[in-house]
Amino acid sequence: MPGVSVREHERERDRAANLPEQLWDQARLAAVEATGLLDTEPERVFEDLAGLAARVTVSGRAFVTLVDDRRSFWKACVGVDTVEIADRQNPVQDSFCYLLIGLGGAPLIVEDAVNDPRTSGHTSVGPMNIGAWAGFPLLAPGGEVLGSFCVIDDRPRTWSPADLITLETLARAVSAEIELRQSLAAAQKALALSVDLAHSLQQGLLPPVPPRIPGIDVAASYTPASRAGRSDIEVGGDFYDLFRTRGTSWGLVMGDVCGKGVQAAQVSSMARYTIRALATDNRAPADVLDHLNTVMITQGSPRFLTAVYARFRPTPGGIAGSLALGGHPPALIRRADGSIRPVGTPGTLLGVFAPSHLTDARFRLTPGDLLLLYTDGATEARARPGAGERRKNDVFDDSDLVRTLAATTGMDAADTVDYINHTLAARHEGWCSDDTALLALRVPNPHRT
């Protein structure tokens, strides 16, 4: 037949043989394909249920079948000697299953296959030695008939009410098993997508490589929190940004939105780009954060945040700048001689109180000095859950961070960030109790190698 595919030709032939239209229903065929069970190896759960049906009904043979538009595939077959997958099926027109599919969800009960008008003369009665046949539909979550759960007896017989109740119950169990597998597969797929989305969102909030600033050494890192008993990653609210504002001036922000998830990501993104827009006028840090606070309150932000914003410029002697703290931990300066001092005056959280109370604090970095910004994941790191009573209150706190930073004297920005991360990981055996962001600026010391 010119222009007609082999499959279409087969369908026309089967329609001519009075097979039911439901057999080719696209929603049904899609539901069968979605089970993922066609042409798969035998599995104990299905074989056990079929075996139970054969024993309870004393019928000898039992099948779990999935029916597409051309064959009945036997996912389980008891009482039939088959080894190869190719042998565990028969053409759709040679199976009683298409009769059941044509009933749209009702069972097919045949007590005398030779004399029952529905099956008399059927091509499978003799070759398969079918005396009696009883089957209940396997249903997809949407109600589509996937196939049948059936038993076959060599001789005609009356199926007892107990037989039929047993078959109906076992058919529901098979349908439930198939639905559970599909739900699990869908959940796993959704989880994989959510993990990818979380990574994408976080990467959108955190520049993967900070921009180069002539004469300044820069490094940053972000470590997501560990999730007890879970393999997924939920996007956090920590963010940082480093950007040129005007002329030779630069802006540096680090923030931490309360909570996690999509709302936290939205607030992080809004805060980051609001600060970028405000910073183009070279406003003082306290003014930038105050305007961000107003925007958050006006828009009814669902989350508050803490942030530190610094404005600075390279100078012939290093870096000169100022910063403000909006409820955020103070920045730390590591001098070339190894001494550590905090920078910043505590200020109000952003997105909660109006007016805000924020103060600018000046700072200078000379050759060998380093400025460290961090989120509270670095100063509230706790032991892994279940680590025992002895370590329950073992928190890596502010004083630990100061001592760790002092131990990095002479290191460049990248090595300093790596050292802090390794120290945190070693302290709590790789467990990260909260998202942790670090960003370091260092003025290189031309007299050190």
Q: How big is the chain, counted in residues?
A: 449
H/E stretch holding 269 = helix 262-279
Q: What type of residue sits at position 120?
A: S
Write down the pLDDT at residue 395: 81
Write down the pLDDT at residue 184: 86
Write down the pLDDT at residue 6: 53
The three-state secondary structure class of 389 is helix
State the virtual CA torsion across 48, 50, 53, 57 in degrees, nearest 10.
Answer: -130
Q: Are 138 and 101 in contact (CB under 8 A)?
A: no
Write down the pLDDT at residue 209: 73
- Mark 6-27 as b/e (b = at least 16 C-beta within 10 Å): eeeeebeebeeeebbebbebee
Query: What is the C-alpha separation between 107 and 111, in angstroms, rounded?
Result: 13
Write down the pLDDT at residue 400: 92
- Consecutive 10-residue runs of the chain (449 residues): their mean pLDDT? 50 61 95 95 94 95 96 95 88 94 94 96 92 96 95 96 96 94 85 69 64 92 67 67 91 88 79 89 92 91 90 95 96 97 95 91 97 90 62 77 96 96 83 83 79
Write down the pLDDT at residue 3: 47
